[in-house]
């Protein structure tokens, strides 16, 4: 694929992290609807696209090992999220903030790097939509969790990491093992964050928007295969 669509997709994704901060979604109804919609998109995208891609990228890694790395990613990001939640009642909020930002470096780098993997515009567009909605919701939750610590400068730094990942893909190709490990680890993180944050619990969730998001991205993905 030509570099221009990839660069445009990277710039779109880099801007979505800021949208999570800037969007004034305080209304109870609107918040639960768009979070549930983005949750449906992200979860279905993981199962229809990212996990099958792991099998294509990492044929030299046995399936149990590949999915073990997905599990490690899920557990790692769950542990960090739990620490962040608990830190609100202690004096560890700054420590929790820095810990989560460190774990998000491979997260954003891999999302940016993976853009060069797509060979069709439909596949690239579906990835950009799914990852973009995920990052908007994730950025919103980071702001909710960390308040004044999660500044525009921090959001800019994470966006820069994503752009560095994309730039790296043009000049240096990660070997199969490294890319497979990174993608498996981040897939676990996306799955955990989608379930934990983008599908709000009980009365904060909305089932129809979740189904709508799931079907929308599912149809788009399957039409591109």
- Among 125, 105, 130, 118, which Cα is nearest to 194's? 130
Q: What is the pLDDT of residue 28?
A: 46
pLDDT in tens, 49-80: 787 777 776 665 666 777 788 888 888 888 88
Q: Which pLDDT band holds residue 22 (cuts at 50, 70, 90)?
A: low
pLDDT in tens, 171-184: 998 887 788 888 88
pLDDT in tens, 74-105: 888 888 888 888 887 677 788 888 999 999 99
Is residue 5 pLDDT above 90, yes or no? yes
Which of 58-72, 125-139, 151-165, 209-223 is most confident?
Answer: 151-165
- In the chain, what is the straight-line distance between the N-terminal and C-terminal CA atoms, in Å? 16
Report yes or no: 213 and 134 within 8 Å, Cβ to Cβ: no
User: Of 30-34, 79-83, 115-119, 128-132, where does mean pLDDT reach its minimum?
Assistant: 30-34
d(CA 211, CA 164): 34
Q: Which single residue is written with the structure tokens 């790395």?
A: 69
What is the pTM (predicted TM-score) of this model? 0.85
CA 130 from chain center: how many Å? 8
User: Of 58-67, 107-116, 174-183, 212-221, where does mean pLDDT reach its minimum?
Assistant: 58-67
d(CA 184, CA 71): 8
């Amino acid at each position: 694929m030509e570099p221009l669509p990839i660069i445009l997709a990277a710039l779109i994704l880099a801007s979505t992290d800021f949208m999570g901060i800037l969007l004034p979604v305080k209304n109870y109804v609107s918040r639960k609807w768009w979070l549930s919609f983005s949750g449906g998109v992200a979860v279905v995208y993981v199962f229809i696209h990212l996990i099958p891609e792991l099998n294509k990228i990492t044929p030299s890694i046995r399936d149990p090992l590949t999915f073990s790395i997905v599990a490690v990613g899920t557990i790692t990001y769950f542990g960090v999220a739990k620490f962040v939640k608990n830190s609100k009642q202690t004096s560890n909020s700054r420590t929790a903030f820095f810990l989560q930002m460190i774990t998000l470096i491979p997260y954003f780098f891999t999302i940016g790097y993976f853009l060069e993997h797509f060979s069709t515009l439909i596949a690239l567009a579906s990835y950009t939509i799914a990852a973009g909605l995920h990052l908007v919701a994730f950025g919103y939750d980071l702001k909710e969790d960390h308040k004044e610590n999660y500044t525009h400068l921090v959001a800019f730094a994470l966006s820069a990491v994503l752009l560095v990942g994309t730039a790296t893909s043009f000049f240096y190709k990660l070997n199969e093992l490294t890319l497979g490990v990174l993608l498996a680890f981040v897939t676990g993180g996306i799955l955990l964050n989608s379930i934990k944050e983008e599908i709000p619990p009980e009365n904060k969730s909305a089932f129809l928007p979740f189904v709508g998001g799931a079907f929308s991205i599912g149809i788009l993905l399957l039409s591109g295969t």
